[in-house]
Amino acid sequence: METSIVRAGLEQASIGALQDFIDERLAKAAAIAQQCYGEAGESFRNMQPSAQDEYLWALAGLLHEASEARGEQVRRRVAERETRRAMERLGRVAEPLLLEGDEAEFIRLMRQLAPDRREEVIAEMKTAVAA
């Protein structure tokens, strides 16, 4: 599978799907690696050098895909943590900022949030104002 196609799919996947993808790639890589050493490795060592290269390229590809997925998983978790922190800070300071008329600071804090979180905060603020 081409890396750019894999990357595009990873960007759309949920955290759970990313973990499943990583687990699958590592399981396949482990199965391939186990055929390269010990008794099982004898048939690998008897292969033509070009076939050995293709076999090891497949192994490297699986490991690279797992690494890409892990990177995406970490990036998302960091973004979620930063969004939670920004939302907590926004929750503590939003009302005083708006009451004091410091709209610039409020807007700066809102920009730190992911777009879907911004909508969530706006909806919560509308509910609070209506109450």
The CA distance from 67 to 122, in Å, is 37
Over the stretch 55-88, which tens digit does the pLDDT of each residue have?
Answer: 999 999 999 999 999 999 998 888 878 777 776 7
pLDDT tens digits, one per residue of 28-64: 999 999 999 888 889 999 999 999 999 999 999 999 9
pTM higher than 0.75: no
Spell out the domain ranges in the chain.
Answer: 3-130
Q: Is residue 7 a contact partner of residue 68, using CB atoms and an 8 Å limit?
A: yes
Q: What is the C-alpha separation between 66 and 28, in angstroms, rounded?
A: 10
**DSSP labels, 60-106:** HHHHHHHHHHHHHHHHHHHHHHHHHHHHHHHHHHHHHHHHHT-HHHH
